[in-house]
Structure 1
């Protein structure tokens, strides 16, 4: 009889495993943990409870965010989840049904300086997917962003951060109107992103689409990014990064940098940007480093290839005197060494008469810059040209304009 009672209890509890069990694998629905999905009530605690239960489970675990709108304060979804083989965070979206949408609080007092909104950290085998949306509700905060003018500014929150994650997949999700960066990857290994849609007005300040620092083995593919700053920015310490199949615009283009601003920066190497389109952007592809760098670093083996640009302001830029502020210390040249930078099979139209700008460091001139079949036409009347400083670029194939030689 006792055995029968135990079996009945197990059967009765099985459908409710999301309510707090820490054993076994399965689906953990945030609504089972109290999320109300009305867009007004704070659903942060139910989300964290669902994550905690999933992280303490074993095997394959899924955190399900059903269709609805969930208001969240800053949340950190942290591991390690030691017994979980794979962990899926699914923002559910079905045809003709309201998708799962996370909305950020607009109260900046909820955030510390530099704190993100939704952060995933120290977890292995995470997948974020489902077709849903991270809505940063940034328009209310953009007037408080002083970073475009002040070097020592208070940084607004990044919408989605991945910190020290391994073997991460992000696919088929949308980031809307971030307060600062839409997505940041910091210290991650083996990250694969695809089908990502990023949207913010061209006038939104510092809303970089995807920003990378200190990562190894990153692939971002088949994504559409339109925002108010760089569509993709590849900062210091990154290696083996491939950006492909990106449609960028509006925005400031795709950048390596800026580099050389801080003492603890590390080298950049083995970067590929290919098979992408840039439409109506302020810039095309850039490598930018600060003058008067506090430490010597290098950026080597960088390839930009198979790119189409339409009505782009400054298609190709290397700028080793980068500074977005009115006053900058340019008393010493940049100490970031640029080498083995290749531009191949790039074509399109430019709204600027200077299509290629190569401004290299006087103290560390660029080495092994090469152009092959790089062709631009002016979107309006007149010819186009290139301008160079402290560099002699190699060229092959057909190039217009010719790089300075």
Structure 2
């Protein structure tokens, strides 16, 4: 196992923290230690998260909001306690502003269908950026197709930052909506969200912030940012798959029609009409992901114990080290800004080696897991005239020794391709 005792988080060594993640103890391709550098896609899960979900299934499983018996009431209390934890994690005023969704994608689609269909009309302007994940592009394309709205995009510079001068010019056209990522899943770029949101509000726009990449890695205060909507997923921040949240300002959520119809989102139902439940349940039709919500709450507890400022500091150290190490390898091209302007994500290519071949070699030869492809950001690939990149991404359990093995793997790939 690769370990390091030189760094610490909240008084715990990284080696101690790594023991909370059972998967990091396994080997691949024989006896190679498993080195996981794909946390931007989905993070690993610590034992407290696994235990919280297991305990629910073993001892407290029942449907929520419906039963009056003890176990159902326990399950309901656990679900709603998790909602409160998440609301506090993002500094929401009220837990009812936190809507459980399947993931970030569903949260964005919820806003596009519910708020968008009620507020966007033909000719209205929606501002996005060139660095968006498909989840923050396609829903708005569909909305524009349904309504006749138009889309404009903030360009990206060669070093992976937004053209904020163009953003200012676009705002002069009085957009109805601005939607952008706080942190790029490809470039790692951390955008100046607070300033961009304030500018958008001054222009009269509603703002949706995609926090899928930022919520796991940066302190997130929705009141300080003043975003109208914020979406993120549990599985990128130590929690389970299949659950995320949409945060929204209360007045906006109350005015929005339901996204889906069914059980639990209603107050009354008659044959020809229905009335809707209060927030947040108006947007949570059907049986929710109860165990996943409980696991999400446990993940938030784990991150709170470490401290998000500490998480960010550790990732900056790893990212700085990795950038310097990769830049020292001949034939490696890195995309995105300097370490101080990015999160723990590095996309790169190796000369004359296709990213998919590179990822396969890294896996088989040195046990390193990286992502290769367009990373659900094809327009950004087009911007840089790329078909794909390799991407290494880091989290609280990443150590510098793993970066060293990544570099060894790149050198091995170059030998194989006779570079």
Scaled by the length of structure 1, the TM-score of the pair is 0.23
Would you tell me which structure has more strand in proportion to its own residues? 1
Q: TM-score, normalization: structure 2?
A: 0.23
> Which is bigger in relative contact order (C-alpha 8 A, separation at least 6)?
2
